[in-house]
Amino acid sequence: MNCELVRAEGGACMALDRRSFLMCALASGAALGAGEFAAPAAASTLTSGAQAQNDAQFTYEAKFYEKQANRKIKCKLCPRECVVGDKERGYCGVRENRGGIYYTLVHSRVCAAHIDPIEKKPLFHYLPGTTAFSIATAGCNVNCKFCQNWDISQSRPEEIPAQYISPHQAADIARKYDCPTIAYTYSEPVVFAEYLMDTADAAHEAGVRSIVVSNGYMQHDSLEQAYGKMDAVKIDLKAYTESYYAKVVTGQLKPVLDSLVTLRKMGKWTEIVYLVVPTLNDDDEEFRGLAAWIKTNLGLDVPLHFTQFHPEYLLKNLPITPVPTLERAKAIADAEGLHYVYIGNVPGHPAQNTYCPQCRKMLVERVGFTASQMLIRKDSTCPYCKHSIPGIWHA
């Protein structure tokens, strides 16, 4: 489950037909274009409660699994490697064994769709100031106690309203509303890998790029095949300790670190978000260890976002992350030598802007989710000192 919020303020839901859905997407895009920051929510849930869901429409054989004896299968999508008996589902709740064949139940089964600024993902070094047609299905392969979108990520597909949006339809919508990218986000795209792959292919044919917002908790092969089709990746690195992953995330740290290294080797533009949860993953040594690991394994130019936690889901007993804690985390990562360390979910904080690591001049100014000023040149250099600024800055 990634940390990008999908629910509308106040949890409002709308029953939308196809026409209403498109109008909603358009209106949302317009609202976002106005540059307003609606913290913490800035998106609406697509619902189609009035429409019956035809399960067969969304059911495709899964790509990543092995058949075993007695009609069992072993899922090879994520490190969990669920062994699933006939008529059962894996941990994610969206893949089902039917007679020894494993199926995804969420291909084209979109339960949330919206047009978001790309800064909301957040991707700060990838096409700033543009919008992404953002989609999700139900399901997740972990269970973060702080999940903001638990109502879709922790549900089975049949439990939440959804709309059929084929890969080509998704590409068409993105083009129609001038979104240079489709973002797979909100829940956990790992669990809808097949849909993501098919949609990325359709989108590329239509001249639309693909980005993914993910926990990175994947097997090596599925990561290479699925995220190999992505143009940029944002990984939620939930913490830098295995104990946190075990207790708070219900996952493991090491496979996520392995995924980050693999993405680096694949040459994918990658940014990292670290949600700082008071008392659970806000220790100085953890910040230092994280920054040192990034420096050693990924290099100094990988953007790292320390974002503010808000009480949600099963962690309502904890306070909002104090801003000084985020500033301390940034200071530690800066001291390790990382070039692009940001503070997120704190509107107006100067650490939301991008600065040249050489001349220290501000190059991208952000207000909320809007890039209000973008000075980086077409050749991706600083206009003041000509220092190269890593990222994909221009379409």
Partner 1 sequence: MTDLRNHSRRNFLTRCLTGAVAMGATSLRATGETQAAAAKSRVVVARDPQLRGSGAAAEAGHVDARRLETLLDHAMQSLFNLPATHENSIAAWRRIAGADDSVSLKVNTLGGRGIATNVDLVAAVCERLQQAGVPARNILVWDRDSEEMERAGFRIVIGGDRVQCFGTDRVGYEDDLSAWGSVGSRLSKILTRSSNVLINMPVLKDHDGAGVTIALKNMYGTIHNPNKYHPNGCDPYVADLNMLPEIRSRMKLVICDATTAMYEGGPGFKPEHSWKSNGLLVAQDAVALDFTGWQMIERKRAEMGLKTLEAEQRPPRYIATAADSEHGLGHCDLARIAVVEIQGGAS
Q: Name the site residues for partner 1 (rule: CB under 8 A).
A: 70, 83, 85-93, 143, 145, 150, 154-156, 158-159, 250, 313-314
Shortest Å, Cβ 68 to partner 1: 12
Of the pair 156, 328, the CB lying nearest partner 1 is at: 156
Of the pair 55, 285, the CB lying nearest partner 1 is at: 55
Of the pair 155, 185, the CB lying nearest partner 1 is at: 155
Shortest Å, Cβ 316 to partner 1: 9
Of the pair 96, 198, the CB lying nearest partner 1 is at: 96
Alpha-carbon distance 340 to 337, whole Å? Answer: 9
Output b/e per residue, 127-166; b: 16+ Cβ within 10 A: bbebbbbbbbbbbbbbbbbbbbbbbbbbbebeebbbbbbb
Contact 76, 65 (CB under 8 A): yes
Of the pair 90, 128, the CB lying nearest partner 1 is at: 90
Shortest Å, Cβ 69 to partner 1: 11
**What is the radius of gyration, based on Cα positions, of the chain?**
20
| Alpha carbon 182 to its chain's center | 12
Alpha-carbon distance 297 to 272, whole Å? Answer: 13
The three-state secondary structure class of 113 is strand
The amino acid that residue 363 corresponds to is L
In order of 91, 134, 287, the CA distances from 48 in angstroms are 26, 17, 43
Report the alpha-carbon angle 187-5-176, nearest 5.
Answer: 80
Of the pair 100, 278, the CB lying nearest partner 1 is at: 100
Of the pair 52, 395, the CB lying nearest partner 1 is at: 52
Q: What angle separates helix 254-266 from helix 284-297, to the nearest 10 degrees? A: 30
Contact 181, 127 (CB under 8 A): yes
Shortest Å, Cβ 311 to partner 1: 13
Of the pair 155, 270, the CB lying nearest partner 1 is at: 155
Shortest Å, Cβ 335 to partner 1: 37
Shortest Å, Cβ 287 to partner 1: 27
Contact 185, 163 (CB under 8 A): no
Bridge partners of 394, per DSSP, are none
Bridge partners of 97, per DSSP, are 102
Alpha-carbon distance 151 to 149, whole Å? Answer: 5
The token pair at 388 is 């190269």
Of the pair 67, 360, the CB lying nearest partner 1 is at: 67
Helix (H) / strand (E) containing 27:
helix 18-33
Of the pair 242, 284, the CB lying nearest partner 1 is at: 242
Shortest Å, Cβ 368 to partner 1: 29
**Rounded to a whole number, what is the largest CA-CA distance in the chain?**
67
Shortest Å, Cβ 94 to partner 1: 9
Strand order in the sheet with 73-75: 65-67, 73-75, 83-84
Shortest Å, Cβ 89 to partner 1: 5
Shortest Å, Cβ 72 to partner 1: 9
Nearest Cα to Cα of residue 235 among 278, 286, 275: 275
